[in-house]
Every structure is written in structure tokens, then in C-alpha cells.
Chains A and B, each alone.
Chain A
Amino acid sequence: MAIKTRGLTKFYGSTLGVKDLNLEVSSGETFGFLGPNGSGKTTTVRLLNCIIKPTSGTAKVGGYDIVSEPEKVKRITGLLPETPGVYEKLSAREFLEFIGGLYGVPEDTLKRRIDELLEFFEIEDRGDELLEGFSKGMRQKVLLASALIHDPEIVFLDEPTSGLDPFSSKMVKDLIKTLSSETNKTFFICTHILPLAEEVCGRIGIIDRGELKEVGTPEGLMEKYGAGNLEEVFLQVTGRRVTRDMLEWV
């Protein structure tokens, strides 16, 4: 089991982040985590990456406890955060060297991987350019590369295609599919983009207001809710409706 949570709960003061989350993700699985804005997706990802500590409950990632063994968890996981946090005065290559170095990747391996990743994301000619001059999409590519630089077993991607053009989005989807099928890596993907989830995820979970509402395969959920696509499932599960009455003032 790659990820296993039991009653995982997080409060920020009196504000609920995640409540009583019970979730299991198998090794090699690509799991989609869907939910509206502020539903608790990013909180869950931060908890599972030991960036924040739970208020109560437990979780194991790659068999390691997130509270008592955070260092081990961090070593086997990679994270693409929702908002890009980079040292703007480092070049793309320097940033990747920095992250790889902190994960203890040997120097020779690191240099080779950086070259390969920069080439894969088609930014090899801008590798020595400071990140401050990069567009949002370019930064996203560098951060994706940094999430993979230490060859993690479990990869958390928070909105992986955010800010990317259609071609780059397709590239990321193909990357996830390839790595998932050929390397047995586990992917935990948070997204709003339902077609992405439908295309690459074997199972999905839907979270709303901090609580996990549904878990299942896309097909199984569509069947359960009698829906034609994942969007309809999502709207039924989260209970969101846009009605004319709400926009009466327009």
C-alpha cells in the first residue's frame, strides 16, 4: 500500500481543513483527488508530504508514518505544489541541482537527470536562464522536473497542468501514463480538470468541505450516479448547482 490514512484530520485553528479522512492508494496506482476550491485537497497533499502536521489521525506513506518518520516519507515522495515556490534568482539548472542535492542525489546522476528532464520538457535551451524570467507554464515544467529529480516512488501532483498550453498538458498526461505503466510509480493527482482525471486516473476520490465523499473508478462512479461523464458525477456528489435564481440580478 502506497498511501493509507486513518481518521486523518486537520484544523487550522477553528477552520476545518480535512476531517476524518480514510483513504487507501495502492502501489503503482494513479489516483485522482477531485474537489472544489477550498475542499481540502492541498491540505491533504501537505499532510501526506509532512509539510504540516495532522490535528488527529494517522497516515502512512510508502509504509512510513507521516508524524514519526517524516524524513523517510519526504525521501520517497515527490511533490509538484499548487503554487510555484522557487528561488527566482536561480537558473532552472541551479534550482534542479538545489532540489536534487537536498534529496541526496549523487552529483553525476543529478547532472544526467537534469539534462534529460530539461530536454523532455523542452526547456534545455533555457536551462541557464534565471527563473524570474520564466512564464507560469515554464515554471510549472521546472517544478514538475524537480518533483521527479530524485526518482521518487510516490509522486503528488497538485494541479499538474495548471498554466500549461494544450501541447504541454498532453505531454504531462503522457508522462504520467508512461511512468505509471513502466516504472510502477504511484501518482496522487489533485485536479479540477475532470477530463485529465478521467483520462489518466485508475481511481478517483471526491472531497468536499474537508470530507471524502466518494471513492471509486470513474466508470463505477458514473454508473452509480447514472451520469454520462465525470463532471456530472462531480456536481451530484458535491451538490453544486448553478441556477438562474442565483443570478437574478444579472
Chain B
Amino acid sequence: MTSGKVLRRLRPVIPVALISGIIILAAVMLLVSKNFFVSRLNNYFKEVVMMPMLASTSIFLQDSVYVLNMGSMAGAVAFMIPIFAAIGRQLQEAEVVSRDVILASPLKARHVLLGDFIVNLIIVPVVLIIASFMMIPAAITFYLTPQAIALIFASIAIANLSGIWIGVMISSYLYIRETTERMKTLFKTLLGVAGVAMGIGFFFLSSSTMPLNLWFLPSTWVGNVVHFAVTQSNIAIAKINYFYIAFPVYPDGWTSLALLVLFTFLVVLAGVAYASKVSFIETGGEEVTVMVKGENWFYRAIRKITPTPLNIMLVSQLKEFARRMDNMARVATVLVFPAIIFLMRGIMQTNVFQGDVGWISFFSSFTGVYIMMAGVLLPIMIVPYTFVRNKDVLWTIKKTPAGVKLMVHAMFLEALILSTPLAVISAVMFYLALGGMTGNPATVLATMLFLVAVSSAITVGVYAWRPVFQERGIGHLINFLITMILTGITTGVMLILSVVPWVLNLIPSMTVLNGIPWLPPSASIVLAFMLVHLEPVSVPVRIAGIAVSLIVGGVAAYLALKKGVEKLEAYE
């Protein structure tokens, strides 16, 4: 067999092998370079995150509620990631109809499920790595024995295994039952909503000074096992307003572990019993015929304000995007982060850091940065779903005169139309949640809108340069990384240029900042806050910096679109 043939045969395996390799390498690096890596993380947490908390904590009583909460979060991650991943993959697979071939083969149903389960085991090391990071604060505050680490990892891995089984079962069920587009859309929307709910739940858990009394959830059992492993005790201690409160962890560590094992056992049993039902496909679902009559005011307005034939392409692209309910769910989910900040504003201002005014000011001082970041990130998250879904549509577009150029330009406008309102909503939510904004709000908003345009152009350019269609998940990931790097470099250069004097001021400030760890927490934050606000008064330099920054952004956007059109024209 020639090397070419071998490579072709191995092609489907290469992405999995690459990802596995990266994960294993990361895990090995994490373990082997423990001294180097963990000691630096230790320093980071001790000096930046934990220091204010440790400074106010008694030597004898250690607040252990956050260990419970972090453990529950790790448990939730272990359960939910495989479920989300399996459902997402199944929904995608249903569109390329690859499962029919497997179900038509003489493979037994339980073998099909087992195959799915084994493939999904790749998630286990990923979850363990994520959980390791979540456990770092606990590892810093408490002395962790090897037995404790083993118990933590075991409980998370067990939770992960049951999550994978549940995910495999749900995804198989989806394939059997889900025969209509409406069902598919419903599940995609539910996935989005579940993601939002999980995000908000995490924020509650991470910021709460008391654990939620959800004893019946497997994620709570994981949290209880983790707490027991870390503190060697079933008594949790919470510090509220300088008072320490002790309360029993329920159910206790060993009972929680037993419940976890029992739950996983029952899930596996359910999977085996359920397997017999996977071997057939019901065709009962009735396709719903969707009729469209006329155009609404939005599309009519778009047609009027954009030139022909660009408007024809733009309106069709927008209809293709907006009539997919899952796309609308995605649009909603990109607002998760600002929504969480907005919903939690009350807690942030009173509870998270025990009312430390310095921290609130610190957060508020970065409102402008958050808003600008939203401007950069939103198009990156949205553009992939505006690209044509398969090659055949691309050929249809390529056949028409100037079709590719029109499509790329329409995608850019579409990204602007979709991202701009979202960016403005994010900005308003950040502004209201953090109770203020650094700099002139009009300037921040204008900068954000400009960044939306630059980021949209770069993302569209990347997709035109490297077209990725619906079914190629790994391609989307690569495009995402390329886009992040390109927008990161561009917007980074833009920000540096527009705040040159500010950056120069920071250099002498750094020597002073090095002394911060020796100061009391509140004073250090206030000092840092004051230092980064020592803005320059050199107006001409500032104006020149902003002008060059705008030119850099404009040129980057223009080049991205131009190169994108050229590359897509040549795409075969």
C-alpha cells in the first residue's frame, strides 16, 4: 500500500488523533511540570485572587463552602459536557444521514450504543483537565494528599461516565424520534437554553457564600465527595460577615460516592435495556409545510437602502439565517455573559467580595474594555452560521455573475446587521450592571461599532479564505482560532495605538505595582485603580494615535474582504 493510500485511509482518524494527542500532551505537561506550572498558578492565585480572601481569614477556621461549590461545578461540567456534545453531534449527524448506514448493518443495537460510548470517552481527559483547574483554589488553601486527589478525580470521572451514557441515550433517542425539522430546532434551542442556564448556575455557585441545598443532584454528590477529600471532614464552614458558621454536608462524602456509583450503575443498566429500541427508526413524524407570503418591513427596508444586486443577495442570506430557529437560539446565547453580569449585579455589588468598594470600582473601570471585547467577539460567534451550508449552494452562487463577491460583501453586511444590535444590548447591560463606564460613553460606543465592523470583515474574510461547511466541525474550530489570532493582533495593535500615552504611563507604574502584594488588599486595589487612570494630556499624540488606529482597522477589514473574495473565487 502506498503512503498516499495509507494517508487517505487514516484521514478520518487524523483529527481525532491530533486532538487526543494535544489533550494527552496537555495532561502530561500538567502532571510532569507540576512544580513549574502549579507553582506559578499558585503565585497567581495567592497574589491576585486569594490574597484578599486569605488576608481576612482566620488561621484556624478555613471557609470551605467554595470547595463544595467548586466541586458541584466540576460535577455539573462532568455531567453536562458529554450530554451537550452527544446531542450536538447527533443533530449534525442526522443532517448528513450517516447513522442510517450503521443501523442498516447487522451490528447489534447495544454494539452501536457501546461504540458511541467508547468514542465519547475522549471527553474524560478534557473534563478532568477542566476540573483540575477548578480545583486549584482548593489545592492552594488546603493540603491535598494523593488519596484526596485520586478520590476527587474518581468522583468526577464516574460522573463523567454516567453523563456520557445519558448523552449517548438521548442522542440515539433523538435519531429515532426526531424526524421533523421542528423537533430538531426545538432540541437545538433547548441546548442553547440549557447552556445559558448552566452559565448562570455556575455564576451563582461561584459567587455564593452558601451552598445550594440540592442534595438530590449528582453534581451535589460530586461536590460533597470533593469537599470530603479536600477537608477530610463532613462539616462545611461558611464565613458570613466575619462570623463562621459550621453545618453538616448532606449527604456525607462516602454516601455521596455510593450514590454516584449507584446512579452510574443504574444509568448503564437503563442504557443496556434501552439498546433494544435503537435498532429501528420510527417514521411517524409529519413534516410541517411552511408557506411564506410576501416580505416583512425589515426585508423591504433592507432592499431599499442597499444597492442592487447586493440587496438581493443580502435579503436572501438574511432569510436563510433568520428562518432557522436554531440560529436565533444561538444569537440569544451569545448574550449569556452580559446577561449573567446584568442579572447578578445585585450580588456583585453587595455579596461577592463582602462589599469591598475597591473591587466594584475595579470592575467598573473595565466596563469600556468589556464593551469593546463584546464588539470584537460577537461577529466571530455569529459569522460561521451565516456561511452557505454546503458546497452545492456555493456552486450555485459561483455560477452567477459576480456571485462570490456579492456573497462575501452580503455576509459582511449581514454580520453587521446581526452583531450591531447585540453589541449595543451587551453594552447597555454591562453599563447598567457595573453602574458606570470609563471614558465618554459615546466614544466607547463608536469604538465598539468600529470594532464590530473590523471583526466582522476579518471573520468573513477567514471563512471566504477557508470555506467550512455545516458538517465539518474541526474546520470551524480551526477558522475560529485563525480569526481569534487575526482579530486579536489587529484590535490589539489598534488599542495600543489609540492609547499609546496610556501605555507609556504604565511603564513607570509597573515598578510601583510590584509593591502591591505588600499593601493591604483594599489599598492595593485603589492604588492600581489610580495608576491605570493616570491618563496623558498630550492631545495631538492621542488624536494621531486614534487616527492611525482607525486606519489600521480599516485596512485590515478591507484586505480581509478583498483576499476573501479572491480566495473564494479560486475555491474548487
Interface residues of A (CB under 8 A from B): 12, 46, 49-53, 71, 74-75, 79, 81, 83-91, 94, 97-99, 101-104, 128-130, 132-133
Q: Distance in Å from the Cβ of A71 to the closest Cβ of chain B?
A: 5
Between A and B, 13 residue pairs with Cβ closer than 8 Å are A52-B572, A74-B399, A79-B399, A81-B399, A85-B391, A85-B393, A86-B396, A102-B312, A102-B313, A102-B402, A104-B309, A104-B401, A130-B291
Are the CB atoms of B323 and A71 closer together than 8 Å?
no
0/1 interface trace, chain B 305-330, chain A, CB 8 Å (1 if under) = 00011001100100110011000000
Among all A-B residue pairs, the 9 with the closest Cβ atoms? A85-B392, A101-B312, A89-B323, A85-B396, A102-B400, A85-B393, A74-B401, A98-B316, A51-B398
Other-chain contact of A81, B181, B313, B392, B570 (Cβ < 8 Å): B392
Are the CB atoms of A102 and B401 closer together than 8 Å?
yes
B458 at the interface (CB under 8 A from A): no
Contacts A83-B392, A102-B401 known; A133 to B287 CB distance under 8 Å? yes
Contacts of B402 in A (CB 8 A): 71, 102
Other-chain contact of B309, A12, A46, A74, A102 (Cβ < 8 Å): A102
A84 closest partner in B (C-beta)? B392
Contacts of A99 in B (CB 8 A): 396, 400
Contacts A90-B316, A94-B319, A104-B309 known; A81 to B395 CB distance under 8 Å? yes
Contacts of A50 in B (CB 8 A): 398-399
B406 at the interface (CB under 8 A from A): yes
B327 closest partner in A (C-beta)? A89
Q: Distance in Å from the Cβ of A191 to the closest Cβ of chain B?
A: 19
Are the CB atoms of B400 and A51 closer together than 8 Å?
no
Are the CB atoms of A87 and B309 closer together than 8 Å?
no
B290 at the interface (CB under 8 A from A): yes
Other-chain contact of A46, B320, B395, B400 (Cβ < 8 Å): B395
Are the CB atoms of A130 and B323 closer together than 8 Å?
yes
Other-chain contact of A53, B181, B313, B395, B570 (Cβ < 8 Å): B570
- Considering the chains assembled together, what is the distance between the CA atoms of A51 and B397 in angstroms? 9
Contacts of A46 in B (CB 8 A): 395
B394 at the interface (CB under 8 A from A): yes
Q: Distance in Å from the Cβ of B313 to the closest Cβ of chain A?
A: 7
Contacts A81-B395, A89-B323, A94-B319 known; A74 to B289 CB distance under 8 Å? no
B322 closest partner in A (C-beta)? A89
- Considering the chains assembled together, what is the distance between the CA atoms of A81 and B291 in angstroms? 26
Q: Distance in Å from the Cβ of A132 to the closest Cβ of chain B?
A: 6
- In the complex, given contacts A81-B396, A102-B309, what are 11 additional A-B residue pairs having Cβ atoms less than 8 angstroms apart? A49-B399, A71-B402, A81-B395, A84-B392, A85-B392, A87-B393, A89-B320, A89-B323, A98-B312, A101-B312, A102-B312
A95 closest partner in B (C-beta)? B316
Contacts of A53 in B (CB 8 A): 570, 572
Are the CB atoms of A129 and B290 closer together than 8 Å?
yes
B292 at the interface (CB under 8 A from A): yes
Interface residues of B (CB under 8 A from A): 181, 287, 289-293, 308-309, 312-313, 316, 319-320, 323-324, 389-396, 398-403, 406, 570, 572
Contacts of B319 in A (CB 8 A): 87, 89-90, 94
- Considering the chains assembled together, what is the distance between the CA atoms of A49 and B572 in angstroms? 13
Contacts A129-B289, A133-B287, A133-B289 known; A87 to B400 CB distance under 8 Å? no
Contacts of A84 in B (CB 8 A): 392
Other-chain contact of A51, B287, B309, B399 (Cβ < 8 Å): B399
- Considering the chains assembled together, what is the distance between the CA atoms of A73 and B324 in angstroms? 34
Q: Distance in Å from the Cβ of A108 to the closest Cβ of chain B?
A: 14
Contacts of B308 in A (CB 8 A): 101
- Considering the chains assembled together, what is the distance between the CA atoms of A50 and B401 in angstroms? 10
Are the CB atoms of B395 and A101 closer together than 8 Å?
no
Are the CB atoms of A133 and B396 closer together than 8 Å?
no
A17 closest partner in B (C-beta)? B572
Q: Distance in Å from the Cβ of B486 to the closest Cβ of chain A?
A: 27
Q: Distance in Å from the Cβ of B359 to the closest Cβ of chain A?
A: 47
A12 closest partner in B (C-beta)? B572
Are the CB atoms of B316 and A51 closer together than 8 Å?
no
Q: Distance in Å from the Cβ of B77 to the closest Cβ of chain A?
A: 35
Are the CB atoms of B400 and A128 closer together than 8 Å?
no
- Considering the chains assembled together, what is the distance between the CA atoms of A132 and B288 in angstroms? 10
Q: Distance in Å from the Cβ of B23 to the closest Cβ of chain A?
A: 31
B393 closest partner in A (C-beta)? A85
Are the CB atoms of A103 and B570 closer together than 8 Å?
no
- Considering the chains assembled together, what is the distance between the CA atoms of A83 and B394 in angstroms? 11
Are the CB atoms of B401 and A91 closer together than 8 Å?
no
Contacts of B393 in A (CB 8 A): 85-87
Are the CB atoms of B401 and A103 closer together than 8 Å?
yes
B391 closest partner in A (C-beta)? A85
- Considering the chains assembled together, what is the distance between the CA atoms of A237 and B128 in angstroms? 62
Contacts of B391 in A (CB 8 A): 85
Are the CB atoms of A133 and B290 closer together than 8 Å?
yes
Contacts A12-B572, A85-B393 known; A71 to B401 CB distance under 8 Å? yes
Contacts of A74 in B (CB 8 A): 399-401, 403
- Considering the chains assembled together, what is the distance between the CA atoms of A68 and B532 in angstroms? 57
Q: Distance in Å from the Cβ of A10 to the closest Cβ of chain B?
A: 9
Contacts of B181 in A (CB 8 A): 132
Contacts A74-B399, A81-B392, A85-B392 known; A102 to B406 CB distance under 8 Å? yes
Are the CB atoms of B291 and A129 closer together than 8 Å?
yes
Are the CB atoms of A85 and B316 closer together than 8 Å?
no
Other-chain contact of A103, B392, B395, B400 (Cβ < 8 Å): B400
Q: Distance in Å from the Cβ of A95 to the closest Cβ of chain B?
A: 8
Are the CB atoms of B320 and A128 closer together than 8 Å?
no
- Considering the chains assembled together, what is the distance between the CA atoms of A130 and B322 in angstroms? 13
- Considering the chains assembled together, what is the distance between the CA atoms of A87 and B322 in angstroms? 12
Are the CB atoms of A90 and B392 closer together than 8 Å?
no
Are the CB atoms of A91 and B398 closer together than 8 Å?
no
- Considering the chains assembled together, what is the distance between the CA atoms of A97 and B303 in angstroms? 13
Contacts of A90 in B (CB 8 A): 316, 319-320
Are the CB atoms of A102 and B570 closer together than 8 Å?
no
- Considering the chains assembled together, what is the distance between the CA atoms of A85 and B398 in angstroms? 11
- Considering the chains assembled together, what is the distance between the CA atoms of A204 and B181 in angstroms? 43
Are the CB atoms of B401 and A75 closer together than 8 Å?
yes
Contacts of A49 in B (CB 8 A): 399
Are the CB atoms of A91 and B292 closer together than 8 Å?
yes
B289 closest partner in A (C-beta)? A133
- Considering the chains assembled together, what is the distance between the CA atoms of A96 and B570 in angstroms? 26
- Considering the chains assembled together, what is the distance between the CA atoms of A101 and B391 in angstroms? 21
Contacts of B289 in A (CB 8 A): 129-130, 133
- Considering the chains assembled together, what is the distance between the CA atoms of A85 and B393 in angstroms? 4
B293 closest partner in A (C-beta)? A128
Are the CB atoms of B292 and A130 closer together than 8 Å?
yes
Q: Distance in Å from the Cβ of A94 to the closest Cβ of chain B?
A: 7
